Structure 1
C-alpha cells in the first residue's frame, strides 16, 4: 500500500440519517450523525444499545445505505457505488471483524486457510506469505494449522483480525470485537488492534458498548440517540516532577447548525430539563439550569 493510498484512508460522515420501517412504524436509527476519522487514527465508538452504533458500522462497511446524508471512506463516496463497485469496496477497501466467531471464521478451515480463502476471493497474490506475516503480527502463528474450536476466544479474535487484514484494507472496522471475552482477554485483543494500527497504519474504528476500550485508544466518540454527542481525547502529560500521566479531556460535538448534546450525567446532576439559560461571555458560553417560575420572578423585579 502506497503512502498516498494510506493518506486517503479517512472516514467522513455528514448529517447521516437512517430510517427503518417495519409494520408501518418508522424508527430513526441515525438522526443527523456527523463523524470524522482521519487516516491512521484508532477511534472507539461507544454508546448504549440502540444508540445507532451498529447501524453506522453497517453503512461504513457497505452492507447498508443511509436514508439521507453524505458518507465517504478512503475517498470513495458510498452513495455513488454501483453493486459491482460495492463488492470491490468490501473486498479491498475495508476489513471487518465481527463479535461472533462463526461470522469471522469458517469452522472447518484452519487459521491459515481462513486467511487464504479471503485473499482468494479478492484474487490477492502471495497468500501463504501474507498469511504467515499476519499470524506473526497478531502473535497467533502457533494457531496456523488449528481450526476455531482448537483455539481460545482471544486467539479466535486475533485470527479474525488477521482475516480482516488479509487484503491490505485501508480501513479496519470492528463490531463489538471483545463482546464475548473476559476482561483480561479483551485487553489483549484491544492491544493487538492497537499494535496493528501502529505497525500497519490502517485506520481503525472499533464499535463497542464496553467503556474499558477507552483505555486503549486516544479518541473515544460517544453516540446517543443516533447522533455523535461527546468525544474524549487522551494524551500523555508530564507533571512538574517530570512524571508522565494520561490526560483525558471531554468535548461536546457541534453539528453544522450549532447543536450539541450535553452528557446525561451533567443534565441529571444539575436538574436541567426542557430549556437552559445561556450567556455569551468573552471566551466561553455559559449554560445554567432554568427552574420553573424564574421568568415570573424576573418580571416582578
Structure 2
C-alpha cells in the first residue's frame, strides 16, 4: 500500500545521506556490518503497578541500518518513549529481541550495561536542563564524558571538544555556561556532549520539543551534521512533523507496534530540479499482520471485520458489510 506525494527538497539531504553511509562503512572497518545496527524482534515491555499490567510494547519489530538517521513518531502512549528507553539502556524489555551494535539488551550485566551507555550510545534529553552541568562551560561539559571514560590527555580532550562544538555550530559558546546560552544553543551543545566518546548510536528524545520552529531546525541540522560527518546512527523520537520530514525514513508506532513507514528518495525532474518523493508503507510483521492507516479506516468506515480479495498484483480490502457504498482500500 503506497501513497506518493512530492515534498520540497531539504538542502543537501541526498549528499548528507551519502556521506553518512560512507562514514558508517568506515566505522564498520570495511566489513559487511551495515545491516541491522539496531534490531528489535517481537519486543515486549509490560509495566506492573499495584496489580495492574500495562503493555507498552506488544511485539514490536524494527531494523535500523548502520549510519541511518531515523525519526520515530507516534501519539502519546504509543510506546515510542518506552522503545527509546530500552534501546538506550535505561530500561529492560520484558521479552523479545533487542540488539544494538552487537549488544543483547535483554542480557546485559550491570558492568556491561554501564559500558554500553558510556561508550556505545549517546543520549539527548528533551529538557535542556538535563543535558548539561550548569556550573561547567560548554567546553567543559563536552570534555566531561571523555574524562569520565578515561580517554585522551587533557589537551587532546580540549581539542576534540572544540572540534565537536564547531561541528554543531556553537563553537562561539565554548567559554559560556548553560545559563548564558539560549535553549537552542544548549541543545546543540548537548548533541556535542552526547557524541564526545564517539558512540556508534545517538538517541534523541524530543530534542526540539521545547524550542520554536527556527531554533528546532538548527538543532536538527546539528543532528544531520553529526550523522553525515561521523557516520553515527541517529534515532530521533519526535512529534514534530517538520522534523520528521527532514529524514529519509520515518517510522510510526501505534499501540506498541510499528504501524507504518515513510521513505523519502531524491528524484531529478525533467527540468533538472531535485525533489524529495515520499512513499508511505504499512509494516507487515512475521505473521502477516499489519495496521491500516487510521485515515483509511475512518474514510471507509472499516470496523469489526473486512473482506479480502487477492488480485494478481495487490490485495483488495473491502468493508465487511456494504452499508454505505462500495468503498475499498487496496494493499
Tell me which residue corresponds to 1:43.
70
Mapped pair 1:3 → 2:27 = yes
Q: CA deviation at 1:293?
A: 7.3
Alpha-carbon distance in structure 1 between the residues aligned to 2:73 and 2:111: 32
8 Å CA contact retained: 1:42, 1:204: yes
Tell me which residue corresponds to 2:270.
240
Tell me which residue corresponds to 1:298.
none
Kindly provide the CA deviation profile for residues 81-115 of structure 1, in whole angstroms up to 9, marking residues without a partner as x: 11100000000000000011221001111111111
Alpha-carbon distance in structure 1 between the residues aligned to 2:322 and 2:304: 10
- Return the match for 1:130 from 147, 153, 160: 160
- Return the match for 2:100 from 60, 63, 73: 73
* TM-score after normalising by structure 2: 0.86
CA RMSD between the two structures = 1.6
Which segments of structure 1 move beyond 6 Å, counting only runs of 4 or more? Answer: none
Tell me which residue corresponds to 2:229.
199
- Return the match for 1:188 from 218, 222, 240: 218
Q: CA deviation at 1:129?
A: 1.4
8 Å CA contact retained: 1:174, 1:207: yes
* TM alignment of 1:90-129, pairs within 5 A: 90-125=117-152, 126-129=156-159
Tell me which residue corresponds to 1:149.
179
Mapped pair 1:229 → 2:256 = no
* TM-score after normalising by structure 1: 0.94
Alpha-carbon distance in structure 2 between the residues aligned to 1:193 and 1:176: 12
Q: CA deviation at 1:77?
A: 1.1
Kindly provide the CA deviation profile for residues 256-289 of structure 1, in whole angstroms up to 9, marking residues without a partner as x: 1111001111100111111111011111111112
Q: CA deviation at 1:5?
A: 5.6
- Return the match for 1:273 from 292, 300, 303: 303
Tell me which residue corresponds to 1:178.
208
8 Å CA contact retained: 1:191, 1:216: no
User: Which residues of structure 1 form unaligned runs of 5+?
Assistant: 295-301
Kindly provide the CA deviation profile for residues 125-157 of structure 1, in whole angstroms up to 9, marking residues without a partner as x: 131111011011011011101111101111000
Mapped pair 1:158 → 2:188 = yes
Kindly provide the CA deviation profile for residues 19-39 of structure 1, in whole angstroms up to 9, marking residues without a partner as x: 001111100000011111000
User: Which residues of structure 2 form unaligned runs of 5+?
Assistant: 1-23, 325-331
Tell me which residue corresponds to 1:290.
320
Kindly provide the CA deviation profile for residues 214-261 of structure 1, in whole angstroms up to 9, marking residues without a partner as x: 221000000000000000000112223332211000000111111100
**More moved, 9-18 vs 264-273:** 9-18
8 Å CA contact retained: 2:27, 2:231: no
8 Å CA contact retained: 2:238, 2:244: no
Alpha-carbon distance in structure 2 between the residues aligned to 1:235 and 1:293: 40
Aligned residues: 294
Alpha-carbon distance in structure 2 between the residues aligned to 1:57 and 1:155: 24
Secondary structure (helix, strand or coil) at the match of 1:195 reads helix
Tell me which residue corresponds to 2:14.
none
User: More relative contact order in 1 or in 2 (CA 8 Å, sep 6+)?
Assistant: 2
- Return the match for 1:17 from 44, 60, 71: 44
